Structure 1
Amino acid sequence: MSVATATEATIGHGPVRAGKRETAYPGWFLLPAAVIYAVLFLLPTISSLYFSLTRWTLFDATFIGFENFAQFFREPFLVKGLVNTVIYAVVTSSMKVVLGMALALLLTSRIVARGYLRSVVFFPVLVSTIGVGITFTVLMHPTNGMINEGLALLGVKGPGWLTNPNLALFSVALVDVWKGVGLATVIYIAGLVAIPKDYYEAARIDGATPWQNFWFVTLPLSRPATATVITLSFIGGLRTFDLIWAMTKGGPGFASDTIASVIYKQYQAGFFGLSTAGNVVLFILIAILVVPLTMLLNRKRGHE
Structure 2
Amino acid sequence: MVTQANAGCRRGPGVPPRQRHARPGAKRKSAYPYTLYAPAAVIYVVIFLVPTVMAFYFALTRWTLFDSTFVGLDNFRDFLAEQNLRIGFQNTVIYAVVTSGLKVVLGLLLGVLLTSKLRLRGFLRSVVFFPVLVSTVAVGITFSALLRPDTGLVNKVLAVVGINGADWLGDATTALLSVALVDVWKGVGLATVIYIAGIMSIPRDYYQAVAVDGGTAWHRFRHVTLPLSWPATYSMIILSFIGGLRSFDLIWTMTRGGPGFTSDTIASIIYKQYQAGFFGLSTAGNVLLFVIVTAIAVPLNYVLGKRQVAL
What is the TM-score of this pair, normalised by structure 2? 0.89
- Report how far residue 24 of structure 1 moved: 6.1
Gaps of 5+ in 2: 1-13
Matches within 5 A, 1:84-99: 84-99=91-106
SS in 1 for 2:247: coil
Whether 1:211 and 2:218 are equivalent positions in the alignment is: yes
Whether 1:139 and 2:135 are equivalent positions in the alignment is: no
Which residue of 105, 118, 126 maps to 1:111?
A: 118
CA contact (8 A) 1:188 1:226 kept: yes
Equivalents in 2 of 1:148, 1:10: separation in Å? Answer: 77
Equivalents in 2 of 1:102, 1:26: separation in Å? Answer: 42
Equivalents in 1 of 2:48, 2:179: separation in Å? Answer: 30
Partner of 1:194: 201
Partner of 2:3: none
Equivalents in 1 of 2:37, 2:207: separation in Å? Answer: 45
Equivalents in 2 of 1:266, 1:40: separation in Å? Answer: 24
Partner of 1:161: 168
Equivalents in 1 of 2:60, 2:168: separation in Å? Answer: 39
Partner of 1:82: 89
Whether 1:40 and 2:47 are equivalent positions in the alignment is: yes
Amino acid at match of 1:12: G
**Structure ID, larger Rg:** 2
- The alpha-carbon distance between structure 1 residues 114 and 75, as it changes in their structure 2 partners (threshold 3 A), is same
Partner of 1:228: 235
In percent, how many aligned pairs have the same letter?
Answer: 60
Gaps of 5+ in 1: 16-21
Out of 141-150 and 40-49, give the one that drifted further: 40-49
Whether 1:13 and 2:26 are equivalent positions in the alignment is: yes
SS in 2 for 1:227: helix
CA contact (8 A) 1:11 1:24 kept: no
CA contact (8 A) 1:72 1:79 kept: no
- Report how far residue 33 of structure 1 moved: 3.0
- The alpha-carbon distance between structure 1 residues 33 and 114, as it changes in their structure 2 partners (threshold 3 A), is closer
Partner of 1:126: 133
- Report how far residue 163 of structure 1 moved: 0.3
SS in 2 for 1:117: helix
Amino acid at match of 2:146: L
Amino acid at match of 2:186: K
Partner of 1:263: 270
